[in-house]
């Protein structure tokens, strides 16, 4: 039976979010960024989502929580990650280019910042079981990792097709002790895995926490995930003072799948209008090719995974499959805060094709000795398209490392 997504009518929720608590994205008490966001969920999930919305801010702003979160980020994840001045890249593009090295985090990407935060939250909510959905398996691995760390049982839903395509990540999750359950319906990919995870949550409302992997889903997920990832821009500001004597760069550039590494990279610069925020989506084989994930170009307003946002859909409103060479970017929507940043123009949305990303990955490897994730290579690919001034300070979020993409690099770059 198809899940029916309805607007959570809880206009009754206490307006507990004062100005400070609204965070820099200024989410409204009902979870809106301008016209985007909200919580469109099956009725059976209202209590779960409501519990989270009521409690998440108090929990994550608590001193004890912050102490445990910060010490795990430091000792387990390996933060702060370096802000690396990329000398040869800077010479090539004639600007001061820095790479925020999220690839050096434990498990190789920024996703672990969020899963560490959410597992600590789950414990404080008294939850004893964790579920997650995963597409390429990166979020599944980051979730299975923190479940092993905290000794909590973990079920990861993954499309059956994705399980075949991403076998090494399935093996990692299993070695970490997670159960990987195949989603067999529809196209057997991410959106089907998401539906299975939602069904599981409906059936296990009291003991289970659902860890969503990006700034997507019903409120409060987009805000919560953005806050956990905001450590990225918090560190950037401190590191820029040390390196440039000024905490504000001219540009921050990040790739966007659902948009969590970009949301975290932009977070502490949102109110500084002189900082240009550039988000890079995956164009796939080209924005007009029919094989793309450039949501802000080809998408329209609709509802996906519980929130109102921009998404790729057919004439009659069915969600369209997204395509990108990079498994972390082939998502048919963007988080609602990105739809808002796009619409208001606070951030500029560019896109890079598969081929541009491949060439940018090779270029970074040869210039700096760093093999980037294909996702991050989309952000790097736009350096050639922006007219920098020689004094411009540019920070690119290197969201992850490229080990997982070696098969694609070998095949497509004929290495």
Ligand X SMILES: *Cc1c(COP(=O)(O)O)cnc(C)c1O
Q: Catalytic site residues?
A: 111, 133, 399
Burial (CB < 10 A; 0-12, 13-18, 19+), residue 286, is middle
Of the two residues 258 and 299, which places its CB atom closer to ligand X in the complex?
A: 258
Least distance to ligand X from the beta carbon of 371, Å? 12
Q: In the bound complex, which residue of the shown chain has the CB atom lying closest to ligand X?
A: 400
Cα–chain center distance at 339: 14
Burial 179-190 (b: 16+ CB within 10 A, else e): ebbbbeeeebbb
Distance CA 74, CA 60 (A): 17
Handedness of CA 147, 229, 321, 410 (dihedral sign): negative
Contact status, residue 384 vs residue 278, Cβ threshold 8 Å = no
Of the two residues 265 and 359, which places its CB atom closer to ligand X in the complex?
A: 265
Cα–chain center distance at 138: 11
Residues found near ligand X in the complex (CB under 6 A): 109, 111, 138, 214, 255-261, 328-329, 373, 375-376, 399-400
Least distance to ligand X from the beta carbon of 11, Å? 29
Least distance to ligand X from the beta carbon of 214, Å? 3
Least distance to ligand X from the beta carbon of 12, Å? 31
Least distance to ligand X from the beta carbon of 54, Å? 25
Of 37, 6, 415, nearest to 217 by C-alpha is 37
Least distance to ligand X from the beta carbon of 109, Å? 4
DSSP at 73: I
Instruction: Establish whether the linkage from the previous residue to 220 is cis, with ω within 30° of 0.
Output: yes
Least distance to ligand X from the beta carbon of 264, Å? 8
Contact status, residue 268 vs residue 239, Cβ threshold 8 Å = no
Of the two residues 86 and 190, which places its CB atom closer to ligand X in the complex?
A: 190
Contact status, residue 400 vs residue 387, Cβ threshold 8 Å = no
Say if strands 179-183 and 154-159 run parallel, antiparallel, or are unpaired.
parallel
Instruction: Establish whether the linkage from the previous residue to 80 is cis, with ω within 30° of 0.
Output: yes
Residue 83 parent element (H or E) = strand 83-85
Of the two residues 48 and 399, which places its CB atom closer to ligand X in the complex?
A: 399
Distance CA 249, CA 401 (A): 24
Distance CA 279, CA 286 (A): 17
CB-side neighbour CA atoms (13 Å) of 218? 25
Of the two residues 96 and 342, which places its CB atom closer to ligand X in the complex?
A: 342
Of the two residues 180 and 329, which places its CB atom closer to ligand X in the complex?
A: 329
Of the two residues 329 and 395, which places its CB atom closer to ligand X in the complex?
A: 329
């Amino acid at each position: 039976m198809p899940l029916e997504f309805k607007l959570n009518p809880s206009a009754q929720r206490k307006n507990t979010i004062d100005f400070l608590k609204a965070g820099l994205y200024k989410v409204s008490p009902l979870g809106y960024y301008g016209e985007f966001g909200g919580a469109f969920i099956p009725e059976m999930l209202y209590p779960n989502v409501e519990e989270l919305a009521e409690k998440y801010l108090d929990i994550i702003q608590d001193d004890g929580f912050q102490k445990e979160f910060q010490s795990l980020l430091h000792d387990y994840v390996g933060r702060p990650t370096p802000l690396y001045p990329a000398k040869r890249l800077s010479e090539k593009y004639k600007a001061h280019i820095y790479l925020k090295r999220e690839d050096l985090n434990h498990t190789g990407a920024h996703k672990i910042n969020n899963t560490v935060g959410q597992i600590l939250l789950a414990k404080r909510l008294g939850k004893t079981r964790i579920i997650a959905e995963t597409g390429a398996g990166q979020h599944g691995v980051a979730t299975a990792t923190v479940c092993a760390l905290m000794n909590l049982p973990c079920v990861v839903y993954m499309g059956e097709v994705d399980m075949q395509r991403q076998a090494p990540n399935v093996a990692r999750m299993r070695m970490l002790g997670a159960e990987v359950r195949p989603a067999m319906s529809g196209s057997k990919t991410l959106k089907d895995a998401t539906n299975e995870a939602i069904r599981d949550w409906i059936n296990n409302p009291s003991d289970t926490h659902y860890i969503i992997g990006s700034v997507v889903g019903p409120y409060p997920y987009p805000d919560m995930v953005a806050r956990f990832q905001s450590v990225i821009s918090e560190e950037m500001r401190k590191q820029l003072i040390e390196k440039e004597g000024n905490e504000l760069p001219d540009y921050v550039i990040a790739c966007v799948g659902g948009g969590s590494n970009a949301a975290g990279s932009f977070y502490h610069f949102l109110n500084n209008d002189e900082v240009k925020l550039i988000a890079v989506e995956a164009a796939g084989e080209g924005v007009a090719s029919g094989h793309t994930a450039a949501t802000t170009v080809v998408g329209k307003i609709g509802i996906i995974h519980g929130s109102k946002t921009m998404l790729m859909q057919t004439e009659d409103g069915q969600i369209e499959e997204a395509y990108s060479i990079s498994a972390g970017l082939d998502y048919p929507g963007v988080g609602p805060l990105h739809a808002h940043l796009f619409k208001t123009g606070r951030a500029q949305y560019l896109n890079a094709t598969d081929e541009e990303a491949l060439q940018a990955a090779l270029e970074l490897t040869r210039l700096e000795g760093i093999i980037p994730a294909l996702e991050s290579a989309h952000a790097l690919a736009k350096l050639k398209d922006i007219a920098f001034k020689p004094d411009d300070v540019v920070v690119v979020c290197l969201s992850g490392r490229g080990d997982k993409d070696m098969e694609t690099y070998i095949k497509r770059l004929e290495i």
